[in-house]
Amino acid sequence: MSAAKKLKSLVLVTLGGYSTYAGISFWRNDEKFYRSFIMPVIHFLPAEGAHNLAVMCSKYRIFPTSLYKDPESLSVRLFNKTFSNPIGIAAGFDKNGEAVLGLKDLGFGFVEIGSVTPVPQPGNEKPRVFRLLEDKAVINRYGFNNDGHDAVYERIKNIKSSGFDGILGVNLGKNKTSTDAINDYVQGIKKFGPVADYLVINVSSPNTPGLRSLQSKESLRELFCALVETRNSLEEKPPLLLKLAPDLSFQERKDVAEVIQKPECKVDGLIISNTTIERPSSLINVSDKNETGGLSGEPLKQVSTEMIRDMARLTHRSVPIIGVGGISTGQDAYEKIKAGASVVQIYTSLVYEGPPIVDKIKKELVSLLKKDGFKSINEAVGTNVFK
Ligand SMILES: Cc1cc2nc3c(=O)[nH]c(=O)nc-3n(C[C@H](O)[C@H](O)[C@H](O)COP(=O)(O)O)c2cc1C
Ligand SMILES: *[C@@H]1O[C@H](CO)[C@@H](O)[C@H](O)[C@H]1NC(C)=O
Ligand SMILES: *[C@@H]1O[C@H](CO)[C@@H](O)[C@H](O)[C@H]1NC(C)=O
Ligand SMILES: *[C@@H]1O[C@H](CO)[C@@H](O)[C@H](O)[C@H]1NC(C)=O
Ligand SMILES: *[C@@H]1O[C@H](CO)[C@@H](O)[C@H](O)[C@H]1NC(C)=O
Ligand SMILES: *[C@@H]1O[C@H](CO)[C@@H](O)[C@H](O)[C@H]1NC(C)=O
Ligand SMILES: *[C@@H]1O[C@H](CO)[C@@H](O)[C@H](O)[C@H]1NC(C)=O
């Protein structure tokens, strides 16, 4: 049996008695059907197993292709590129660049793969992913398991000629044991610069000690300058984005904003935000909230939106922002856009609601734009920055 056939039968076995109904609705990409039947069944699997199954389904393009045609009002010009819609899949879902075409099928306007490190690494011990169902949240401490630069590069180097007409971002990481983070990022920029539409560097660590001190501002500047220089040495010059943690204090946000606006090493955009190490008191699931790791999903939503607004203000809207954190509806996406995000990404809500969520968000967004009299996403971006 081919891998794809095996997988199809595995999916049908997983679906068990529902398979007749599944035979109809699965392919119709029916949203309620996913929420009420398919996702609960998938949630019987351990979180990491379910993640792997979902990646495999995307890889072998088992999921039905979205039939929704992106209207002109959803198209966004950013980084001198056209995004056919502003909804992307966030880093960490397709860590190894296996599922790019399948993710595009689901209706995503852009796909960010990674984090990819120079050499393969296994990540932390299992279990390392936890669902907080009642909270619509996930805690993960994968520890950046991935296949490494070479393997991932081989998979995606020809992606544009194999039918992928979306935007591809590559999120670069550093090896756990690496003693020279800058060098790991430099290698990543050189490797993926020629094939990516944008590159992401992580300044996410909530533990980055005291950005406040002049000295660490200086080292941030050094880092950015080295990376921007490397990028500038390439023939193709992909935009360089920084991904930030929501756990940065206001002073730290100010410092980052100050450093990234310096003309000599200006970064091209921000991704806001990564997961949080905070555990908001609103969390319902008390047993798993103790787990170490980054929290994503609904409890992150407001925190991340406020950080988008902060950074949009602090940079005087001079740096484009990709908004991410807890988006599961068109309204959620719209709030981040009005707070200053040009496009947005999702991850955790896909885990809970399955592929139909992509079209759902897009349709809701279209009607919200219309209701407020905006002809395009671009018109709505940042309209609430100073509110
Ligand atoms: C299981 C899991 C793995 C993740 N892995 C990565 C990663 O490798 N690199 C990264 O930059 N972000 C990673 N993230 C963070 C997401 O890209 C995103 O910033 C975060 O989950 C917030 O979005 P959400 O609330 O829509 O999930 C991961 C998130 C989850 C849930
Ligand atoms: C924008 O893209 C076009 C082609 O798509 C290219 O010719 C042009 O040089 C790009 N401009 C910048 C500033 O990168
Ligand atoms: C992100 O950066 C922090 C330090 O700034 C580091 O601890 C962490 O390992 C990085 N993550 C990746 C994937 O490189
Ligand atoms: C990670 O990659 C760097 C190359 O920049 C290398 O020096 C380091 O040893 C690697 N880590 C492991 C675990 O091999
Ligand atoms: C919390 O999460 C655990 C593990 O995912 C699950 O078994 C439990 O039912 C959840 N709910 C509560 C209220 O603890
Ligand atoms: C959470 O952690 C604390 C100490 O770190 C421990 O005492 C407590 O039992 C844990 N709670 C649950 C529900 O696991
Ligand atoms: C994101 O945040 C987690 C902790 O919440 C941290 O371990 C990780 O290094 C950060 N960076 C990336 C790229 O995920």
Domain residue spans of the chain = 66-380
321 secondary structure, DSSP code: E
Task: Determine the length of the chain.
Answer: 387
Which atom of ligand 5 sits closest to the CA of residue 134? 11
For the segment 243-259, what is each residue's pLDDT rounded down to a tens digit? 999 998 898 899 899 99
Ligand 7 binding pocket mutation candidate from 203, 241, 274, 300 (most atoms within 8 A of CB): 274
What does each C-alpha distance from 166 to 16, 87, 210, 367 come to in angstroms? 35, 11, 38, 23
Mean pLDDT of the chain: 89
List phi, psi (to 5°) of 131: -95, 130
Which atom of ligand 1 sits closest to the CA of residue 146? 8
Cα(273) to centroid(ligand 4), Å: 26
Which atom of ligand 6 sits closest to the CA of residue 286? 13
Could you tell me the pTM of the whole model? 0.91
Residue whose CA is closest, atom 3 of ligand 4? 178
What is the architecture of the domain spanning 66-380? Alpha-Beta Barrel (3.20)
The pLDDT-based confidence of 16 (bands split at 50, 70, 90) is very low
Residue with tokens 């990376």: 227
Structure tokens at 324: 């991410």
Burial class of residue 177 in the structure, from the number of CB atoms within 10 Å of its CB (0-12 exposed, 13-18 middle, 19+ buried): exposed
Residue with tokens 């484009």: 320
Which atom of ligand 4 sits closest to the CA of residue 179? 7
pLDDT of the residue at 17 = 37
For the segment 147-182, what is each residue's pLDDT rounded down to a tens digit? 999 999 999 999 999 999 999 999 999 999 988 888
End-to-end C-alpha distance for the chain, whole angstroms: 58
288 lines ligand 5 (CB under 6 A): yes
Share of the chain above pLDDT 70, in %: 89
Q: Strand order in 129-132's β-sheet?
A: 129-132, 137-140, 294-297
Catalytic residue among 9, 19, 36, 205: 205
**143 contact partners, CB below 8 Å, separation of at least 6:** 121, 123, 124, 128, 176
Cα(20) to centroid(ligand 6), Å: 44
Cα(281) to centroid(ligand 6), Å: 15
**88 contact partners, CB below 8 Å, separation of at least 6:** 108, 109, 110, 111, 112, 167, 169, 322, 343, 344, 345, 346
pLDDT of the residue at 39 = 79
Ligand 1 binding pocket mutation candidate from 275, 298, 307, 358 (most atoms within 8 A of CB): 275
* Full DSSP string of 163-229: T--SEEEEEE---TT-S-HHHHHHHHHHHHTTT-SEEEEEE--TT-TTTTSHHHHHHHHHHHHHHHH
Q: Which residue has the higher pLDDT, 253 or 207?
A: 253
Nearest 5°: CA angle at 74, between 71 and 77? 125
Which atom of ligand 1 sits closest to the CA of residue 114? 8
Find the farthest-apart pair of alpha carbons in the chain and give their distance in angstroms, rounded.
64
205 part of the active site = yes
pLDDT of the residue at 358 = 96
90 lines ligand 1 (CB under 6 A): yes
Cα(274) to centroid(ligand 7), Å: 6
pLDDT of the residue at 151 = 98
382 secondary structure, DSSP code: T
The whole-angstrom separation of Cα 148 and Cα 257 is: 31
Cα(102) to centroid(ligand 2), Å: 28
Cα(77) to centroid(ligand 2), Å: 12
For the segment 28-60, what is each residue's pLDDT rounded down to a tens digit? 567 777 777 677 777 878 899 889 988 998 898
275 lines ligand 1 (CB under 6 A): yes
With the C-alpha atoms ordered 328, 329, 330, 331, is the resulting torsion angle positive or negative?
negative
**212 contact partners, CB below 8 Å, separation of at least 6:** 251, 252, 255
